[in-house]
Amino acid sequence: MVAVTDGTAPVRRAPLIAGNWKMNLDHQQAIAFVQKLHWALRDAKHDKGSVEIAVFPPFTDLRTVQTLIDADKIPFELGAQDLSAHDSGAYTGEVSGAFLAKLACRYVIIGHSERRQYHHETDEVVAAKVRAALRHGLVPVICVGETSEDLEKFGASAVPVGQLQTALDGVPAGADIVVAYEPVWAIGSGQAATPQQAQDVCAKLRDVVAEKLGGDAADRTRVLYGGSVKSSNIASFMREPDVDGALVGGASLVVDEFAAIIRYQKHVGV
Ligand code: PEP
């Protein structure tokens, strides 16, 4: 990521490195993981102001991780992996944004490809969840991305652009959101997009934010890349002007690897 200009002064978007644990680590394992990550960064004298760090544990870990972060003053933000489109009521198994806000979650992932694929979440459901997150003061991390079939048929950007357009329906211009471009073919495959591919689509997604929410929002909004991010490729993504961070799956579960991703500015000299 680099400085962008809003026409008057340069605007710098704070890089965000986000770890999506998926259905891994129970609440006891979560304690050990968060402590080890914190110690690894502290031992490496990581400058905590240089990169925002967020972890997205399973629902059942959230209270435990919240308590740990709070007690030990660990500079990590907390996020959930999903929320209900509804605020309360007869929705067995669902979790309200109100509950996440009470647990001091700042972020919530919405529309991850695994939710779209295994839970049949449509673009409209994603849009309703985005609105629910905003109602409760949560920052939605809106995931969009094309499958390999989409890529072949429509090219890289058409599907994620369409998904984001629908996801932003009814979102007010001042809303705080994060967008994550995650090509489905790159998730967990070891086959990351190239930095140029990520840049091209992230720039188009920023244009969607500009079209739907205005130019100021587009300048301010972090657009992340996700899909087989590792310590060996993170810097090449972060050099791109429209990539403001990463949503990391598998590598966010390995303390030293995730710490190295967070420290991308040091070990590769961005
Ligand atoms: C993800 O699931 O959001 C993801 C990017 O996974 P991975 O980093 O393992 O490809």
Report how far ligand 1's centroid is from the alpha carbon of 10 (Å): 31
Considering only CA atoms, which of 233, 131, 249, 269 is closest in space to residue 188? Answer: 249
In a domain, 60, yes or no: yes
Tell me the CA–centroid distance for residue 228 and ligand 1, in Å. Answer: 6
Within-domain flag for 12: no
Which has the closest alpha carbon to 77: 42, 103, 111? Answer: 103
Higher pLDDT, 267 or 105: 105
* pLDDT confidence of residue 174: 87
- Over the stretch 7-20, which tens digit does the pLDDT of each residue have? 455 567 999 999 99
Is residue 248 within 8 Å of 18, Cβ to Cβ? yes
In 87-172, alpha helices (H): 97-102, 113-118, 123-135, 148-154, 158-167
**Is residue 115 in contact with ligand 1, taking CB distance under 6 Å?**
no
Would residue 232 count as lying in a domain?
yes
What pLDDT score was predicted for residue 3? Answer: 43
Q: Is 75 in the pocket of ligand 1 (CB under 6 A)?
A: no
Residue 119 designated active-site: no
**C-alpha of residue 126 to centroid of ligand 1, in Å:** 19
Of 211, 166, 159, 163, give the one whose Cα is nearest residue 185. 159
107 in a structural domain: yes
List of residues 6+ apart from 144 with CB closer than 8 A = 111, 159, 160, 161, 163, 164, 167, 179, 180, 181, 182, 205
- Whether 187 is in the pocket of ligand 1, judged by its Cβ within 6 Å, is yes
> Which residue is closest in CA terms to ligand 1's atom 6?
249
Confidence at residue 12, expressed as pLDDT on a 0 to 100 scale: 79
Return the pLDDT at 18: 98
Distances (CA, A) of 40 to 14, 59, 175, 244, 257: 22, 25, 34, 23, 10
pLDDT cut 70: percent of the chain above it: 94
Residue nearest to atom 8 of ligand 1 (CA): 249
* 90 CA distance to ligand 1 middle (Å): 32
Decide: 249 in ligand 1 pocket, CB within 6 A.
Answer: yes
Test site for ligand 1: of 109, 228, 261, most ligand atoms within 8 A of the Cβ: 228
- Specify the ligand 1 atom closest to the Cα of 22: 2
CA distance 171 to 153: 30
**Domain count along the chain:** 1
Does residue 3 form part of some domain?
no
Please give the number of the atom of ligand 1 that sits closest to the Cα of 229.
Answer: 8
Residue 225 CA to ligand 1 centre (angstroms): 10
Confidence (pTM) = 0.95
Which pLDDT score, from 0 to 100, does residue 9 have?
A: 52
Evaluate whether residue 9 is within a structural domain: no
Q: What is the pLDDT of residues 13-71, one digit of tens each?
A: 999 999 999 999 999 999 999 999 999 999 999 998 999 999 999 999 999 999 999 99
Helix 195-213 vs helix 158-167: crossing angle, to nearest 10 = 30
CATH of the domain at 171: 3.20.20.70
In a domain? residue 55: yes
Q: Which of 10-19, 21-30, 130-139, 174-183 comes out lowest in average pLDDT? A: 10-19
Closest CA to 147 of 156, 134, 138: 156
Range of the domain at 134: 22-266
pLDDT digits (tens, 9 = 90+) for 228-238: 999 999 999 99
**Could you confirm whether 152 is annotated as catalytic?**
no
In a domain, residue 146? The reply is yes
Judged against a pLDDT cut of 90, whether residue 2 lies above it is answered with no
Q: Which long-range contacts (CB under 8 A, 24 or more apart) does 95-99 make?
A: 95/59, 96/136, 97/132, 97/133, 97/135, 97/136, 97/138, 98/136
